[in-house]
């Protein structure tokens, strides 16, 4: 009797707290950050969300300070002024320059972080666009030397007249770092967008997949398809970002083909890579854009760990077979599956 008097109210409290908790909406927090020349948005769910976003924002600014090619005190600026000498850099910088060097090998030179002097000559770094003459491009190409970038522990060395920039990789790596911070803070569900880079932690709080729109490169205010993902990054490189129309009436864009120094024009107008690692997706979205329609498909055949949606300049959508039940296409463009062995 004595016991039941104590236990009954206790049980009532217990039942109430459990059921009341399940009725409460999941806590969430949101943050907008402008960094790396990009508008970034983050949304995280769970008790640790607010603290996780504080740490993520701090980390974004830390990475920008290390990696920015334009800020005088960054590791990259120091490497670019070193005149061929060895430079001590942060763990992040060494990792990313090392990644640049290994993706150069892995993509047959399509990704080359030393293409920067060419990019600058076109005005893509300043917004003062112009079409350089062929002789100027040929001269600058001699300084593009992906094979001569060396990383040894925390020491980086590039040739005296070379310059590097991590524009093709930095946001992808930042996405991975933010996911790690979210996980460390107990966040189980989150979605971030760093410019064209979208990355999800887990699935939506209700357990369903996140749905990510991919822009139609021909009508960039519309999505051509939606891909369903959880725990993945979706990274797009397109010819419609940072581009200009020159006096010759032609369009030029900011992804440079290191083999000739001109904006890559090898049959693709947009490349989206979907995979577990943001850095890899970012590197490959740029590299496969440069490779073009044929080489990109060959590369994808040998790399089934990532999926891709390619759009050709004659308006066809090509997507890897791994996306068969994950992709909803709204566009009128004809689509084909890239079947892999
Ligand atoms: P975004 O910056 O629009 O997300 P990308 O990830 O494709 O697009 O990266 C493009 C950036 O990468 C350029 O702005 C430039 O800084 C750099 N870049 C351009 N061409 C190459 C290349 N062939 N290899 C490595 N980096 C490149
Ligand atoms: Mg990229």
pLDDT digits (tens, 9 = 90+) for 87-136: 999 999 999 999 999 999 999 999 999 999 999 999 998 889 999 999 99
Domain at 6-65+175-338: CATH architecture? Roll (3.10)
3-state secondary structure of 219: strand
Distance CA 294, CA 122 (A): 27
Nearest to 164, CA basis, from 127, 121, 112: 112
User: Six-digit token pair at 95?
Assistant: 């990792």
Residues with CB under 6 A from ligand 1: 111-113, 115, 119, 165, 167-168, 171, 195-196, 237, 241, 254-256, 258, 282, 285-286, 290
Q: What's the CATH number for 68-157?
A: 1.10.3980.10
| Mutate-to-test residue for ligand 1 from 67, 121, 125, 168, highest number of ligand atoms within 8 A of CB | 168
Nearest to 94, CA basis, from 11, 38, 30, 152: 152
Query: Count of CB atoms within 10 A of residue 217's CB?
Result: 21
- Is residue 316 within 8 A of residue 333, CB to CB? The reply is yes
**pLDDT reading at 21 higher than 60:** no
- Helices 278-291 + 293-301 axis angle, to 10: 140
- In tens, the pLDDT along 23-38 reads 455 789 999 999 999 9
Query: Count of CB atoms within 10 A of residue 27's CB?
Result: 13
**pLDDT reading at 16 higher than 60:** no
Sketch the domain layout of the chain as residue ranges. 6-65+175-338, 68-157
User: Residues with Cβ < 8 Å from 296, sequence gap 6 or more?
Assistant: 268, 271, 288, 289, 308, 310
User: Residues with Cβ < 8 Å from 159, sequence gap 6 or more?
Assistant: 84, 143, 145, 148
- Is residue 225 within 8 A of residue 329, CB to CB? The reply is yes
- Is residue 180 within 8 A of residue 44, CB to CB? The reply is no
List the residue whose alpha carbon is closest to atom 19 of ligand 1: 255
Mean residue pLDDT of the chain comes to 92
- Is residue 186 within 8 A of residue 46, CB to CB? The reply is yes
Mean per-residue pLDDT, 158-184: 97
């Amino acid at each position: 009797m004595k016991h039941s008097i104590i236990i009954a109210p206790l049980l009532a409290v217990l039942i109430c707290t459990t059921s009341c908790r399940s009725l409460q909406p999941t806590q969430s927090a949101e943050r907008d950050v402008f960094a790396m020349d990009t508008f970034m948005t983050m949304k995280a769910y769970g008790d640790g969300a607010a603290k996780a976003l504080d740490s993520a924002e701090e980390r974004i600014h830390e990475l920008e300070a290390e990696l920015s090619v334009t800020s005088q005190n960054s590791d990259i600026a120091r490497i670019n002024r070193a005149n061929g000498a060895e430079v001590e850099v942060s763990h992040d910088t060494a990792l990313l320059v090392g990644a640049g060097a290994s993706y150069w090998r892995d993509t047959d030179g399509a990704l080359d972080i030393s293409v920067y002097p060419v990019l600058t000559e076109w005005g893509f770094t300043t917004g003062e666009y112009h079409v350089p003459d062929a002789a100027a491009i040929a001269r600058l190409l001699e300084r593009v030397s992906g094979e001569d970038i060396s990383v040894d522990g925390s020491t980086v060395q590039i040739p005296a007249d070379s310059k590097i920039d991590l524009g093709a990789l930095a946001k992808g790596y930042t996405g991975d770092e933010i996911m790690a911070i979210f996980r460390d803070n107990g966040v189980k569900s989150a979605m971030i967008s760093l410019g064209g880079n979208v990355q999800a932690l887990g699935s939506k709080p209700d357990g369903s997949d996140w749905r990510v729109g991919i822009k139609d490169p021909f009508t960039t205010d519309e999505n051509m398809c939606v891909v369903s993902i959880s725990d993945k990054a979706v990274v797009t490189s397109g010819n419609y970002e940072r581009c200009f129309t020159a006096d010759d009436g032609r369009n030029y864009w900011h992804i440079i083909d290191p083999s000739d120094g001109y904006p890559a024009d090898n049959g693709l107008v947009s490349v989206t890579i979907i995979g577990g690692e943001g850095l890899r997706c970012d590197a490959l979205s740029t590299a496969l854009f440069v490779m073009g329609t044929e080489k990109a498909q060959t590369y994808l055949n040998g790399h089934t760990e990532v999926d891709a949606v390619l759009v050709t300049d004659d308006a066809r959508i090509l997507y890897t077979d791994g996306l068969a039940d994950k992709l909803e296409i709204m566009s009128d463009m004809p689509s084909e599956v890239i079947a892999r062995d």
